[in-house]
């Protein structure tokens, strides 16, 4: 698990290396100050309990690094204290040592605070980078990915899972830097003071490790399930907000509440299980630490009472250091409790980040800066991933420049799928699509889509101003161009009547506008882009008569002098098309003008008579 953790963090740590380096240095400083500040306790205890009065110390010359270095330093410290006591008295040296302890503690606390503070940019920065990476991936994944994933679950991965990564993983980086340094420094001093006692501590350490391991087992799996349940909650909430009108119309409030309550209860039970295991971290490590302390007290008492291997003040200092190491060990164990939860959330995030995007730019793209000839579909067959059914079967279609092709057919016949293949929202399973004789797979996606404008059946707008919605994707547009586009789309008049004109915010998904107004804004957006190719999913069936007339006029202006592929529902679009292609079960079963198809008295005539075009 530790290996996987560092592999994950290694992907995001590069921009924040200076913070990690600073934290490591300051933690070393803090821990050495901690060790030496408590070393001042030894002479203070000796003075208070008068344990060193009978012994006379002599100054020893320091001859460099050797096995007597520690003893010489300790001897010289006591010699200096003894000289100071003889000249100024015991209370004076007690005040000096106390002041030294305060100063060293202040420095230790200061360096500890700074070492923690400089890790904050790392923690928040990594989560920011993860969210941006996920959002960027979502923008570039094919539409087929989202037909298999729940939207609410994707939102949960960017919000809740990313937050868990910050609280569990990035905070663990801090603990995994700080605590090993503390443990290393303190155990070094414990070995210096008494290697026998320290070996006893190390022998009992596996008891703590076993206790920690018994709690962390299955924590990762349970944490992953908990996050999945949270994703389900977000999915149901999104569905509820999007379908409130239907819920109220069918009096389904109680049904939806029962569904949400069930999911919420499952999440609560799963999260309670995880929280219970996490809550056990402190008592388990506390109990194990106390066991170690008691064992050391027994053995240390034996050394003092029978072997006289250590004086009382040194033993007290040893016990203080041992207590100091208990907290880093507990924090270290806490990191092990957090890691499974964080790794579970990171796995869910990686399901998006590692998703394969089959729709990519070619290594050596062909140039496609203009549209001169036409679009051709050659023996195109398409099926969705993980499906064995062909949605489109052996489609051959030519769309000459400047012509309008209407696609008609019953729901599920493959009309929307066909127009989605042209801008490469999906890639064909077999066959090819060419523009001006160039396979669309051989050109840059950005070049291809810059030639195509869309007006969808549902006007997709953003929670922004009217101006920003019209200029969406056209950064260099002037106000005059925006107004001109709005006038062509029959939108300028109602925009001028809005409280702030073109700067009016239209709300979530354009909720402050009527259906006809939203559609005319989307048409103005397409007009401003001024693409040579137009893909049109005509959406006037749900509009009132006046809105339908205005939208239809705008569509007709938009289609002039453009190459248009229209999923047609209205007789005006169908009758004016240069060619009508009738789709049935993924195949083009008839093609021709309106009059030709009516005269043929075939499937198109049947659809026309049933008014199911």
What are the tokens at 271?
Answer: 């999260």
Q: Is residue 293 part of a domain?
A: yes
| 382 and 322 share one domain | no
User: 514 pLDDT band (50/70/90 cuts)?
Assistant: confident
Number of domains comprising the chain: 2
pLDDT winner (highest mean) among 236-250, 292-306, 397-411: 397-411
Q: Are residues 335 and 405 in the same domain?
A: no
Residue 369 domain-assigned (yes or no): no
The larger pLDDT score, comparing residue 444 to residue 569, is at: 444
Q: Is the pLDDT of residue 200 over 80?
A: no
Tell whether 358 is covered by a domain: no
Q: Are residues 307 and 425 in the same domain?
A: no
SS3 sequence, 535-581? EEECCCCCCCHHHHHHHHHHHHHHHCCCEEEEECCCHHHHHHCCEEE
Q: What tokens were used for 361? A: 């730019």
CATH of the domain at 37: 1.20.1560.10
Tell me: do 482 and 511 sit in the same domain: yes
334 and 392 belong to one structural domain? no
Domain termination site, one of 298, 322, 353:
353
Indicate the residue among 353, 385, 419 that finishes a domain: 353
Q: Give percent above pLDDT 90 in the chain.
A: 9
The two three-digit tokens of residue 607, written as one number: 């659809």
558 within a domain of the structure (yes/no)? yes
Whether 539 shows a pLDDT value over 70: the answer reads no
Q: What is the mean pLDDT of residues 465-481?
A: 87
In terms of average pLDDT, the best of 143-157, 161-175, 357-371 is 357-371
Global confidence as pTM: 0.69
* Eight-class DSSP state of 217: T
- Rounded to 10 degrees, the C-alpha dihedral 594/599/603/605 comes to 70
Same domain assignment for residues 292 and 410: no
pLDDT, greater one: 427 or 212: 427
Residues 380 and 281 placed together within one structural domain of the fold? no
541 has pLDDT over 60:
no
| Average pLDDT taken over every residue of the chain | 78
pLDDT of 393: 92
Query: pLDDT tens digits for 171-194?
Result: 667 777 777 888 888 888 888 777
239-282 tens-digit pLDDT: 777 677 667 766 777 888 888 888 888 888 887 777 776 666 66
Last residue within a domain, chosen from 294, 321, 353: 353
Range of weakest confidence among 186-190, 204-208, 366-370, 476-480: 204-208
| Residue 486 belongs to domain with CATH number | 3.40.50.300
Residue 326 within any structural domain of the chain = yes
Domain check: are 58 and 100 in the same one?
Answer: yes
Query: Burial, 221: exposed, middle or buried (Cβ in 10 Å; 0-12, 13-18, 19+)?
Result: exposed
Report the C-alpha gap between 522 and 500 in whole angstroms. 19
Q: Are residues 269 and 299 in the same domain?
A: yes
Would you state the structure tokens that stand for residue 217, as one six-digit string? Answer: 């087992």
Same domain for 384 and 315: no
**What is the spatial distance between Cα 235 and Cα 45, in angstroms, rounded to a whole number?**
64
User: For the residues 307-332, what does the mean pLDDT come to?
Assistant: 71
Q: Report pLDDT for 477.
A: 84
Same-domain pairing of 334 and 410: no
Domain membership of residue 205 as a residue range? 2-353
Q: Is residue 361 part of a domain?
A: no
Q: Is residue 8 part of a domain?
A: yes
Same domain, 197 and 102: yes
Residue 396 pLDDT > 90: yes
């Amino acid at each position: 698990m530790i290996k996987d953790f560092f592999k994950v963090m290694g992907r995001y740590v590069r921009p924040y290396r200076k913070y990690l380096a600073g934290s490591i240095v300051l933690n070393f400083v803090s821990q050495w100050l901690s060790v030496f500040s408590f070393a001042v306790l030894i002479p203070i205890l000796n003075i208070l309990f008068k344990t060193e009065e009978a012994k006379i110390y002599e100054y020893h010359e320091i001859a460099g690094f050797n096995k007597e270095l520690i003893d010489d330093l300790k001897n010289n410290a006591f010699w200096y204290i003894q000289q100071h006591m003889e000249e100024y008295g015991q209370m004076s040296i007690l005040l000096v040592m106390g002041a030294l302890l305060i100063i060293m503690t202040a420095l230790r606390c200061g360096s500890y605070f700074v070492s923690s503070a400089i890790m904050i940019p790392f923690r928040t920065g990594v989560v920011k980078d993860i969210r941006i990476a996920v959002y960027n991936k979502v923008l570039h994944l094919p539409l087929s990915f989202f037909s298999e994933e729940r939207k609410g679950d994707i939102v949960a991965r960017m919000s809740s899972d990313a937050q868990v990564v910050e609280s569990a993983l990035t905070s663990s980086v801090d603990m995994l830097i700080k605590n090993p340094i503390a443990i290393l420094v303190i155990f070094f001093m414990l070995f210096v003071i008494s290697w026998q006692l320290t070996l006893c501590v190390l022998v009992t350490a596996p008891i703590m490790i076993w206790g920690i391991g018994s709690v962390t087992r299955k924590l990762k799996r349970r944490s992953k399930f908990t996050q999945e349940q949270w994703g389900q909650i977000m999915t149901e909430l999104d569905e509820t907000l999007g379908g409130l009108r239907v819920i109220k119309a069918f009096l389904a409030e109680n049904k939806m509440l029962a569904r949400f309550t069930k999911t919420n209860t499952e999440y609560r039970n799963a999260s309670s299980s995880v929280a219970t295991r996490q809550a056990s971290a402190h008592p388990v490590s506390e109990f194990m630490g106390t066991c170690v302390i008691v064992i050391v007290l027994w053995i240390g008492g034996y050394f003092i009472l029978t072997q006289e291997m250590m004086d009382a003040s040194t033993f007290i200092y040893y016990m203080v250091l041992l207590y100091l190491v208990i907290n880093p060990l507990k924090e270290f164990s806490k990191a092990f409790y957090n890691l499974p939860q964080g790794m579970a959330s990171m796995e869910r995030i990686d399901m998006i980040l590692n998703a394969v995007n089959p729709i990519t730019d070619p290594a050596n793209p062909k140039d496609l800066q203009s549209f001169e000839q036409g679009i051709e579909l050659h023996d195109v067959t398409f099926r969705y991933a993980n499906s064995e059914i062909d949605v489109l079967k052996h489609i051959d279609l030519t769309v000459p420049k400047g012509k309008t092709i209407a696609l008609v057919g019953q729901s599920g016949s493959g009309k929307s799928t066909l127009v989605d293949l042209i801008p490469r929202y999906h890639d064909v399973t077999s066959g090819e699509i060419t523009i001006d004789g160039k396979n669309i797979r051989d050109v840059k996606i950005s070049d291809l889509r810059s030639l195509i404008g869309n007006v969808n059946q549902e006007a997709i707008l953003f929670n922004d101003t009217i101006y920003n919605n019209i200029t969406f994707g056209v950064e260099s547009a002037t106000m005059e161009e925006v107004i001109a586009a709005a006038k062509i789309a029959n939108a300028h008049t109602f925009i001028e009547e809005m409280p702030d004109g073109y700067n009016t915010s239209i709300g979530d998904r354009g909720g402050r506008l009527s259906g006809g107004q939203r559609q005319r804004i989307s048409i103005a957006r397409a007009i401003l882009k001024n693409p040579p190719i137009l893909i049109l999913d005509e959406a006037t069936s749900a509009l009132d008569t006046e809105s339908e007339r205005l939208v239809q006029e705008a569509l007709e202006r938009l289609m002039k002098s453009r190459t248009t592929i229209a999923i047609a529902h209205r007789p005006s679009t169908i009758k004016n098309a240069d060619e009508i292609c009738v789709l049935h079960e993924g195949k083009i079963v008839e093609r021709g003008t309106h009059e030709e198809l009516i005269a043929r008295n075939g499937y198109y005539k049947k659809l026309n008579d049933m008014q199911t075009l």
